[in-house]
Chains A and B, each alone.
Chain A
Amino acid sequence: MVKKISPKIYLIIILALLYAPIIFVVVFSFSNTTNFTFPRGFSLEGYRAIFTSSHAEKLLDSLKNTIIIAVISSIASTIIGSVSAVGIFYMKPKTKATFENINQLPIVNSEIVMAVSLMLFFTTFSFPTGWLRIIIGHITFCTPYVILSVMPRLMQMDSNIYEAALDLGASPVKALVKVILPIIFPGIISGAAIAFTLSIDDFIITQINKGAATGIDTLSTYLYSSTRSASGFEPFWYPLFTIIIIIVITIVLLVNLNKFKTKGKKKEEED
């Protein structure tokens, strides 16, 4: 009896610890304070402050920047990643292996090294500061994940289908759009979701490459600077965190459920 229950209790304790900060943020987003107390009871004041506080303009501006950067870089990396995944798939095995190793670099490299290497690169070749640097940085770390998300789909594809389309008179481009694209489409969608989440989540690459003088801030860099400012931590942050947490968790759950569904289907086919 004890043997059966104690492992579950252990799992629950660890889960509780992992989720404690997140739950605290969500609960105390309704208290309009930053010190985890309820001095004035339940209130939506914090949520209202997102739009009405004296920092609202700066906050909404950084939110807008975050979304613009995430949309541009996730669309760009999804297109680059999906197209090149098809190319990589048809590479000679040796070239393919080398390429996949290089593609791994942005994933395995420590973020700080990648950030400073990009900064060094941009400074050396005097790239214009601001948007261009940030977006190139984001595309660089997002694209490898798109490729990793599309590749398995291509591997599962029966390569004869494509040849069959050609034999039946389809042009290569038509075959690509009508045959390959529908097969890899779920991979493209997951890839785009991953890229979008990673871009929104990023702090280090943006912080180091945005350039202090440009005044461009994303949510995470603005958050970081506001933790260091003398005026302190505004109460609107917890409500905003709550909204972000809900969005991120929804996206991740959807992608994972999608993965489970396809895994299940594959199993059924195998059985």
Chain B
Amino acid sequence: MQKNIFLTIKNRIKGFHITRSVFAYPYVLFLMLFVIVPLALILVNAFLADGKISFQNFVDLSRDGASLKVLGHSFLVGIVTTALCLIIGYPVAYILAKMPSGGVLVILFILPMWVNFLIRTLATRAIFQAMGVALGEGTVIFGMVYNYLPFMIMPLHTTLSNIDKSYSEAASDLGADPVTVFLKTTLPLSVPGIISGIIMVFIPTISTFAISQLLGGVFLFGDSINDKFNHGLYGVGSVMSLVMLVFVLLSNVMLKKFNKGEAKSSVW
């Protein structure tokens, strides 16, 4: 009798174990429908030209000098922006990591990011105009650095504040001067944070939509993708989106590789 009751309880729990993961099924369906299928459509459209499977869209893109120029230019803007963010952001993250109240202060650096980027970009533009600075390449880079600096500071701060202090203490006890201590212990140990930061700045920068147009009439890859779709060039637009998607997925694989076991930094 006792055993019987025990068995039914056990079965009930077991039964519910199956039903409990059922709670996720509606969202599984939702994700399939609105995330996976649309991305699959991009893939299909990239290889579809005149209703036939072909590489025509890739050929078209490779012959489209203007688009390739935009891609090249986006890379250039992306590299410059990322480098500047790293140079400006590393000291910020380093100083914050050393401060006892750094964990709270870092929120101050991330907070502006939550104000709509259009609002911030328009305000930056108005400041430039009030100061009489001509809009152009320089103002675009400034706007990009301004927009994405928090993305660099966040992962760097997480990594730097997780580094065990005893490493640098040991190094200085053994006679290393502060510069050597930094170069030989802190810097190498913060490489995962640097890589995360670079990816988190570079990818959004090259795919930005609207910021560069507002700040200097410069067209970047994100604008270019939108432009292609607006003109009904779904094939070429899909190829360009696919290029972007490959970048995103590759960088994510890299992020996972470098940040194994480390707490993921997030805005929230």
Chain A positions within 8 Å of B, measured between CB atoms, are 7-8, 10-11, 14-15, 17-22, 24-25, 34-37, 80-81, 83-88, 90-92, 95, 99, 102-106, 108-121, 124, 136, 139-140, 143, 145, 147-149, 163, 166-167, 172, 190, 194, 197, 201, 203-204, 208, 220, 223-224, 227, 233, 237, 241, 244-245, 248-249, 252-253, 255-256, 259-260
Contact = CB atoms under 8 A, between A and B. Distances in A.
19 contacts: A10-B92, A11-B92, A11-B96, A14-B92, A18-B109, A21-B124, A22-B123, A80-B30, A86-B24, A88-B21, A99-B24, A108-B252, A112-B207, A113-B225, A115-B226, A167-B9, A201-B116, A203-B118, A241-B119
B210 to A, nearest CB: 7
A136 B34 contact: yes
B210 A224 contact: yes
Interface in B12-66: 12-13, 16-17, 19-28, 30-31, 34-39, 41-42, 45
A80 B95 contact: no
Given A110-B207, A166-B12, A249-B114, 13 more contacts: A11-B96, A14-B149, A22-B120, A113-B245, A113-B248, A120-B229, A145-B268, A166-B9, A172-B20, A203-B117, A220-B116, A223-B119, A252-B114
A10 B91 contact: yes
Interface in B45-93: 45, 88, 91-92
A163 B209 CA distance: 50
Interface of B: 9, 12-13, 16-17, 19-28, 30-31, 34-39, 41-42, 45, 88, 91-92, 95-96, 98, 104-105, 107-109, 111-112, 114-120, 122-124, 126-127, 129-130, 146, 149-150, 203-204, 207, 209-210, 214, 222, 225-226, 229, 234, 237-238, 241, 244-245, 248, 252, 266, 268
A113 B13 contact: no
Residue from A7, A22, A34, A110 whose CB has the most chain B CB atoms within 10 Å:
A110
A27 B214 CA distance: 22
Nearest to A147: B27
A224 B118 contact: yes
B31 A102 contact: yes
A224 B127 CA distance: 18
Contacts of B13: 163, 166
A259 B267 CA distance: 11
B31 A244 contact: no
A11 B30 contact: no
Contacts of B268: 145, 148-149, 190, 194, 255-256, 259
